[in-house]
Amino acid sequence: MTESTPVPPPGCPAHGSGERIPMYTPDFAADPHSYYAYMRHYGPTAPVELAPGVEATLVTDYGAALDLLQNSGDFRKDARRWRDLNEGRVSPDSPVLPLLAYRPNCMFSDGAEHLRLRRAVTESFGRVSSHRLSESVDRVARYLISQFSNRGSADLLNDYAKQLPLFVFNELFGCPAEIGDRVMFGISGIFDGVNAEQANQVLFQAVSELVTLKRTRPGEDVTSWLMQHPAQLDDQEMAHQLVLLLGAGAEPLRNLIANTLHLLLTNDRYAQNGLVEEALDDTLWRNPPMSNYAPHYAARDMEFAGQKLSAGDLLLVSFQAANATSAGSNRAHLAWSAGPHACPSKEPARLITLAAIEYLFNELPDVELAVPEESLTWRPGPFNRALGHLPARFTPVDPRRGMPPQTPQIQQRPAATATQARERGGLWSSFLSWWKA
C-alpha cells in the first residue's frame, strides 16, 4: 500500500484496492466516519458489502450523490432490475433483502407509475394538519412519559423514541386496537431483526385488514383519504403504500428522535441554550437516521463518477459521507434525499421530532445521560445510524392528574408472537384504553 493510501480502520478486512468494505459489522457501526474517510481513496464511489455476499457501490461524494439522485434516466428504482438478485447471487434469506427487494409502491417505481403513486401518498398525507399532528405527538408523548416518569430513569430509545412514531402513525392511519397491535409487532420485528419473516407477514396481513375495514367504514384518516384519492389504488396497492408509509415513519423517525436527543444530552451548548432545532439539523448532517440508502440500479452499461457500471448494478447513496464533503450549510444535507424520490414528508418528520423532544424536556427538565457517552453502542447495519440504548436519569415526577396507574415498562412486554399479542392485548390496545378512559 502506498504512503498516500489510507490504512483501513481497525476491524476492516479491506486491505487491498480489490477488497469490498463491509458495512454490517459492529466496527463499522461504532465509527462509520473512519470508514468513509478510508472509502474516499477510491474516489466518489467505493465498493462495499451490505451483508455477506451482497455487493453494492456506495456513493460517498456530495456532487456525485446529487447527480445520481436527480438522474432518473440512467438510474432506476425498480429493484426487479437488480442483476445480482436475478442471477441468484443474493440469498433469499439475506437480512438486507426486505429493504432492497421490489415492492409495488412509490419508492420502487419509476416514471408515470411513480408519479401516480407518489401523488396519492403525498396528497393524502398532506391532509393531516400541523395542529392535528402536534396534538397527536403531545398525546402520545404524555402517555409514554407517564409510563416511566415516577421511576427517575428510562431508556429514551426503547421507552420513548422507538414507540412514539408508531403510536402517532397508528393514530393518523385510523388503526383499531387489534390491527394496531399487529402493525406495531410487524414494524418492530422487521427493523429489529426479531422474527423478521413472520413480522413481515403479520404487518402485511394487518394493513390488508385495515384496507378492507376502511372500504366499508372510512374515517378522517390517511388510510381513508388514500383510498379516496383519484389515483384509485386497488387493495394490493393500498396495502403496499401503507407498509411503506409505516416503515418510513417508524425506523427513520425513531433514529432521528434518539440521535437528536443523544446530541442534546452529550453537548451542553444545545440543551442549555434551547437550540433543539439546531441540534436536529446538526444530527441530520452528521448522524442522519438512514445514513446509507436510496437504492438505485444502473439502467445500462456506463461510466459514473469514474467507475464502470453494468446494467443492473446496485448503487446506494451514503447521505452521512456525502454531507461531510459538502461546503454548504448544515441545512444543505442530503438526509431527506433529493430528486424525484426525495422524502415527501420531511416537514411532518421535523414537526414530530421537535414536538417529541420539546415535550420530553418540558416534562423532565433535568434529564441527563445516565452512563458515560463512550459506553453507548450503535446498532450494526448498513443502512441506519441507530443507537442500541439511550439510558437517562431525572428527578422522578408523579404522573399528572388523570393519568392511569403505572403499567409495566414497554420493553418488558415484547410481542414474541402475533398470537400472544392478540391474547394479552398489545401496546396500541393499552394506549387506546388509556386515551378513552
Residue type at position 391? P
Sort residue 339 into left (φ over 0), alpha (ψ -120 to 50) or beta: left
Residues 6+ apart with CB under 8 A from 424: none
Question: Is residue 230 pLDDT above 80, yes or no?
Answer: yes
pLDDT score of 20: 94
Confidence grade of residue 330 (pLDDT, cut at 50, 70, 90) = low
For residue 338, report the phi and psi dihedrals to the nearest 5 degrees. Answer: -160, 170
**In the block, which residue shows the cell 399479542?**
421
Tens digit of each residue's pLDDT (9 = 90 or more) over 100-156 = 999 999 999 999 999 999 999 999 999 999 999 999 999 999 999 999 999 999 999
Q: Quickly count: other Cβ atoms within 10 Å of residue 130's Cβ.
A: 11
- Residues 209-232, mean pLDDT to the nearest whole number: 96
Q: Is the pLDDT of residue 193 over 70?
A: no
What whole-number percentage of the chain has pLDDT above 90?
72
Cell of 138: 403531545
Nearest to 38 by CA among 13, 69, 68: 13
Phi and psi at residue 391, to the nearest 5° = -70, 135
The amino acid present at 422, given as its one-letter code, is R
Segment 412-428 mean pLDDT = 48
DSSP 326: -
Instruction: Tell me the mean pLDDT in the region 386-399.
Output: 93
Q: Are 190 and 415 in contact (CB under 8 A)?
A: no
* CA–CA separation, 214 and 205 (whole Å): 14
Average pLDDT over residues 321-327: 87
Identify the pLDDT of residue 406: 44
Interaxial angle between packed helices 235-266 and 111-125, expressed in degrees from 0 to 180 and rounded to the nearest 10: 60
Q: Please report the DSSP string for 148-163 in residue order.
A: TTTTTEEEIIIIIITH
Whole-model pTM over 0.75: yes
Compute CA 390 distance to the chain's CA centroid, rounded to the nearest angstrom: 17
Alpha-carbon span 206 to 186, nearest angstrom? 9
pLDDT of residue 435: 83
Cell (9 digits) for 225: 383519504
Q: By the 8 A CB rule, do 122 and 344 touch? A: yes
pLDDT score at 14: 60
Q: Are 216 and 223 in contact (CB under 8 A)?
A: no
Is 271's pLDDT higher than 70? yes
Q: What percent of the chain has pLDDT over 70?
A: 88
What is the model's pLDDT at position 400?
59
**Nearest to residue 432, comparing CAs of 177, 241, 256, 249?**
177
Residue 431, CA distances (Å) to 21, 178, 427, 435 in order:
44, 12, 6, 6
Task: With CA atoms as reference, report the closest residue to 19 among 41, 40, 48.
Answer: 48
Cα within 13 Å of Cα(244), Cβ side: 26
Whole-angstrom Cα distance, residue 30 to residue 95? 20
Amino acid symbol at 395 = T
Are the C-beta atoms of residues 85 and 92 closer than 8 Å to each other? no
Query: Residue 143's pLDDT is what?
Result: 95
What average pLDDT is seen over the chain? 88
Give pLDDT, residue 420.
Answer: 43
Rounded to a whole number of angstroms, the distance between the first and last alpha carbons of the chain is: 68
| Residues composing the chain | 437
**CB-based contacts of 417: which residues, under 8 Å, 6+ apart?**
195, 198
Residue 170 cell numbers, joined: 397508528
Is it true that domain 21-436 has CATH number 1.10.3470.10? no
Pair 181, 170: CB distance under 8 Å: no
Higher pLDDT, 190 or 208: 208
Q: Which residues of 191-230 are buried (b: 16+ CB within 10 A; e: fewer)?
A: bbeebbeebbebbbebbbbbbebbeeeeeebbbbbbbebe
Residue 419: pLDDT over 80:
no
- What pLDDT is recorded for position 430? 87
**pLDDT interval class at 293 (50, 70, 90):** very high
How high is the pLDDT of residue 218? 96
Task: Report d(CA 362, CA 355) in Å as an integer.
Answer: 10
| pLDDT above 90: residue 301 | yes
List pLDDT tens digits, range 76-97.
Answer: 999 999 999 999 999 988 888 8
**Res 95: pLDDT:** 85
Distance from C-alpha of 296 to C-alpha of 100, rounded to nearest angstrom: 10
Q: Within 10 A of 70 (CB to CB), how many other CB atoms are there?
A: 13
Looking up cell 420502487, which residue turns up? 108
CB 304 within 8 A of CB 297: no
CB 197 within 8 A of CB 184: no
Which residue's entry shows cell 414528508?
345
pLDDT for res 410: 34
pLDDT tens string 335-386: 999 999 999 889 999 999 999 999 999 999 999 999 999 999 999 999 999 9
- Lowest mean pLDDT across 55-69, 142-156, 163-177, 189-203: 189-203
3-state secondary structure of 387: strand
Identify any residues that bridge with 54 across adjacent strands, giving them in sequence order: 51
Comparing 413 with 372, the larger pLDDT belongs to 372
| pLDDT (tens digit per residue) in 2-51 | 445 566 676 676 654 458 999 999 999 999 999 999 999 999 999 999 99
Please check the confidence at residue 267 and state whether its pLDDT lies above 70.
yes
* Per-residue pLDDT at 1: 41
